[in-house]
Amino acid sequence: MAEKTTQGPMDAGRFAALADGYGSALHRWPQAEQAAAVRFAETEEGRAILRRAGKLDALLDRHRVEQPSPALHGMIVAKAATEVRQVRRRRFWWLGFGLAGVGLAGAVAGLALVTVVNPDIPSNHYVMDANATSFGDAGPDADQIEEDL
Partner 1 sequence: MGADPDEELVRRIGAGDPAAVQAMVARKLPRILALARRMLGDAAEAEDVAQETFVRIWRHASGWRQKGARFDTWVHRVALNLCYDRLRRRREWTTDELPEVADETPLPDALPGDEERRVGQALLRIAPRQREAIVLVYYQDLSNIEAASAMQVSVDALESLLARGRRALQAMLIGDDGDD
Which residues of this protein are in contact with partner 1, per CB under 8 A? 1-4, 17-18, 20-23, 28-31, 48, 51-53, 55-56, 59-60, 62-68, 72-73, 75-77, 79-81, 83-85, 87-88, 91
Nearer to partner 1, 67 or 134 (CB): 67
Nearer to partner 1, 67 or 118 (CB): 67
CB of 24 to partner 1, least distance (A): 11
Residue closer to partner 1 by CB (options 24, 40) is: 24
- CA dist 79 and 76 (Å) reads 5
Smallest distance, partner 1 to C-beta of residue 45, A: 13
Of 18 and 41, CB closest to partner 1:
18
We find the least distance from the C-beta atom of residue 120 to partner 1, in angstroms, to be: 48
5, 36 Cβ separation under 8 angstroms: no
The minimum distance between CB 41 and partner 1, in angstroms, equals 17
Interatomic CA distance for residues 147 and 125, integer angstroms:
24
How far lies 145's CA from each of 65, 117, 129, 137, in Å?
Answer: 102, 33, 16, 10
Distance CA 144, CA 101 (A): 51
Half-sphere exposure (Cβ direction) of 112: Cα atoms closer than 13 Å: 6
